[in-house]
Structure 1
Amino acid sequence: MSDELTRAAELIHGAGALLVCAGAGMGVDSGLPDFRGGAGFWRAYPPYAGLGLQFEELADPRHFADDPELAWGFYGHRLALYRTTVPHRGFGLLLEWGRAKPGGVRVFTSNVDGQFQTAGFDRVTEAHGSIHHLQCCAGCTREIWPATGVSVDLDETTMRARPPLPSCPRCGGLARPNILMFGDSDWVPDRTQVQLDELTGWRRAHRDLAVVELGAGQAVPTVRRYAELASAANGALIRINPREPQVRHGRGISIPAGALATLTELA
């Protein structure tokens, strides 16, 4: 492990720019729940265990049409949780390292929690959208608006939302988070696409970047694939993951540990 940490520290130190690629495991050290498997999800949300509902079933956009109180019970609780969560020290370390680079720092993440923005990052590509932004369920507009001031009254015994539910300011119908859910054909990707276009341009201008990937699993491989793509030219990938640290074809550094512990050791 010490050899890998030394190599990783040297790679970060010598890079001209830093790209942080983060999956759900990045938030665990901030106290956010681990949704890995039914058991982990039910530990975080016991009422759903009694209903036999798993994360993948609740993160289904059809609930906003069929049972909006169930849908907003789940997402309303998460919105409140993410608003009050304090990012762990590892976020600050990454920001410090990135700001010291001539090319700066960018983030690519599948997380919808806004932790990077809270920690001070101003260039974040949110591949699956953000819970802090909303869109119209009926599709009356492609407009995406901030969820600032939106709160959901939640019955925590049943995990169902009480009316009134968040609504579209244009048509008055039901609103939903601007998040890419499972089997979601109605997600409006426009905000994310603007972020992605900016990131692509930045990457092309900074070929000497180092990629630090944290807590990105293989079940939803969006982040892992992007990290591999971004580091393909120079192999400057540091994969930090306690369960799935393997790097394909030896193209990078594998560290089988958690995000905060590893970043602290690297510091």
Structure 2
Amino acid sequence: MEKIVILTGAGVSAESGLGTFRDEGGLWSQHRIEDVATPEGFARDPALVHGFYNARRAQAAQATPNAAHDALARLQRIFPGEVIVITQNVDGLHEAAGSQAVMHMHGILSGALCSNCDHRWPAPLEMHVAEPCPACHAPTARPDIVWFGEMPYGMDDIYDHLSHATLFAAIGTSGQVYPAAAFVHEAIAAGAKTVELNLEPSAVVSNFDETHFGPASDIVPAWVERLLRAP
């Protein structure tokens, strides 16, 4: 059976109004990564970190899926083989478009995590310092986000999917963040065909058999249509 494994990054959600690390004037441009996206930053100033993610959570709650999200959900519904969606994004727009069982390797804004007992629960729109865990009641709630220096979620399952892929697609990714940037090598080792769909070439573009460049809302639906028409 054909198995498509898709990795998506910030470029998929950019047209839904959610900025990337590199966007000028966005949330990320107002803070140092070390201050808002590391365990050390959270330990130093949890109020700053909660404020940053509260703003991201509010922004994501207002966003709607674009044509790229819709096309990938349609591919999952219609493709006769298996379609696995792995995302570096934390916004939940793949699910909003109808994708199923999305693998959030970097966590999700709508989740809260207890750093004391690892309990997870739906995050309120605003989280606060010393918010108690509903399971152990410790005042150690944090966003359920994988920060720099932490291990991404579901890596064993991700590598297993890559090892059985017949087609691997990287969509809207920079190719600069590991381990995701190395997924194409895992797919190649498994004998998969590889394709990059991006606004511009990624740092690992030379590893792909096929490339398509342009806005995700244009190139992803077109690619999905070609796949679904293929004999």
TM-score range relative to shorter protein: 0.7 to 0.9
CA positional deviation for 1:201: 5.3
Aligned to 2:13: 27
* Residues 157-212 of structure 1: CA deviation (Å, up to 9, x unaligned): xxxxxx5764312224031012111234xx7x6xx33xx555555556x55x3222
Structure 1 stretches lacking a partner, 5+ long:
1-14, 154-162
* Mapped partners of 1:19, 1:117: distance in 2: 16
* Mapped partners of 1:88, 1:231: distance in 2: 29
Change in Cα spacing, 1:183 to 1:210, as seen in structure 2 (3 Å) is closer
Letter in 1 for 2:220: L
Aligned to 1:237: 194
- Identity across the alignment (%): 27
Aligned to 1:59: 37
Change in Cα spacing, 1:221 to 1:252, as seen in structure 2 (3 Å) is farther
Q: For 1:144, which of 111, 120, 128 is the aligned residue?
A: 120
Alignment of 1:111 with 2:85, yes or no, is no
* Mapped partners of 2:79, 2:27: distance in 1: 41
* Mapped partners of 2:195, 2:161: distance in 1: 19
CA positional deviation for 1:56: 4.3
* Mapped partners of 1:201, 1:45: distance in 2: 35
Alignment of 1:247 with 2:205, yes or no, is yes
Change in Cα spacing, 1:180 to 1:164, as seen in structure 2 (3 Å) is closer
CA positional deviation for 1:79: 1.2
- Give the SS at the match of 2:182: helix
Structure 2 stretches lacking a partner, 5+ long:
226-231
Aligned to 1:171: 137
Letter in 2 for 1:253: E
* Mapped partners of 1:87, 1:231: distance in 2: 30
* Mapped partners of 2:148, 2:126: distance in 1: 22
- Give the SS at the match of 1:123: coil
Letter in 2 for 1:180: V
* Residues 36-62 of structure 1: CA deviation (Å, up to 9, x unaligned): 1xxx25x0139x74xxx3234321223
Is contact 1:109-1:223 (8 Å) kept?
A: no
* Mapped partners of 1:176, 1:98: distance in 2: 32
Is contact 1:247-1:253 (8 Å) kept?
A: no
CA positional deviation for 1:24: 1.4
Structure number with bigger Rg: 1
Letter in 1 for 2:191: N
Aligned to 2:218: 261
Q: For 1:214, which of 171, 189, 192 is the aligned residue?
A: 171
* Mapped partners of 1:120, 1:235: distance in 2: 26
Is contact 1:21-1:227 (8 Å) kept?
A: no
Letter in 2 for 1:175: A
Change in Cα spacing, 1:241 to 1:202, as seen in structure 2 (3 Å) is closer
Change in Cα spacing, 1:180 to 1:100, as seen in structure 2 (3 Å) is same
CA positional deviation for 1:94: 1.7
Name the stretch that deviates more: 222-231 or 25-34: 222-231
Q: Return the TM-score normalized by structure 1.
A: 0.72
CA positional deviation for 1:115: 1.6
The CA RMSD measured in Å over matched residues stands at 2.7
Aligned to 2:229: none
* Mapped partners of 2:198, 2:13: distance in 1: 12
